[in-house]
Structure 1
């Protein structure tokens, strides 16, 4: 017989078949990071080794594929010039990505809460997505000139679709029973969105953001290809016209580095903002039968 005020429920970690794991220490975390990164690093080293072998054994003419040494000599010797254009492309990418996220999330929310808007807007989004952006980029140059505007617009158009699609999928993936429970408890539409729909959609949204942020780099460079006097796209076009393949390869490497860095930033933001998600747990409590 249990006296009043005494809790008779068995703690979750004392229940049969439930094992509580210790939180990983610093050494275990470093080992986990090493386990996740050694494969891509090994592949990257292999790619650079193949690049070096191709240039060292003269398998391809040097004006077609420069050596890693010549490329890195350009990176270090003309770093001021490259950095100036890198900053321009990075600024265009970040601004275009931010606009794409804001507009994409807003459009997704409207589409989820309004069937009419979804049926009207969704086909237009698909139509706009399949149009090659390089084909319509010259129109933006004609309409907006050779300034920063066309590059941002192209970046927005390319990054917008993954954001809106992932956000719509996340908002629709909410458990209907949770929505019914919130309605039963008297929660209004805004409270339901903030407390249930939005948190549940964030894992899907971040998946789209990681795709969108890399596409935004491509969009900015595509806009620079069409008409610009600065930016990495301009550097690559100038190097291509002058057959300066070391500078061309340097521009491509820096452009890739921007995409990887922004991807990592979004990945870190996801880890910080979604520690509760199943994909981010280290397994504090698991079942063992």
Structure 2
């Protein structure tokens, strides 16, 4: 994640209230899908507040986990209460602070679409993973499966047509199965596979859903924060009318991510499989 370009992603607490609360359930399903052995070295690229690293540390008995993120605020949040097996550093996905072929698994959670050059970041991941090692990632399905944001941008464009310019459902074409598969294949990775991951996103009431949009962190909250107060109120009421509230006021939506994995070709390498 380029902190200069996407400077709204800087504060761990605000992110956790907005989208971070769903990060652990998605990471758990992703790690289970990878099915990796214990005792491996994991590199978490764009680690954010550390959800994927924590899940790996707790579920996979790793030899080591290193999380890398350009946001000092996120790295500080990740370090707070981090498992003993995990450490976190500030760094760039396009220039990873890691030696060639030094890691068994290179993973990335919910960040690939925010990178200015996903292909360059993927090339870096291939560089640092060992022959036969795994490179994997997951991203929200903004176009169809991320129900909260799909509903938000639909009403936002209806209220203010200028929202179409920053609509995540249109901005991130890489967040679909075929573009992800093609990106991994173009990087020279073998055994490429793509799978959906779905989680429930339940809000206690409408305020639980709406208030995180006011923090200004992330594309949708940044749009809300930058809107005229009248537009903001119209958007709030339009979204309230659009989401399906249950009798107790809670709102149950779903979120889908797409996961992709591939293995660095092991030409001339005869080590053990890691999955």
The bucket for the TM-score relative to the shorter chain is under 0.3
TM-score with structure 2 length normalisation?
0.24
Highest RCO, 1 vs 2 (Cα 8 Å, sep ≥ 6): 1
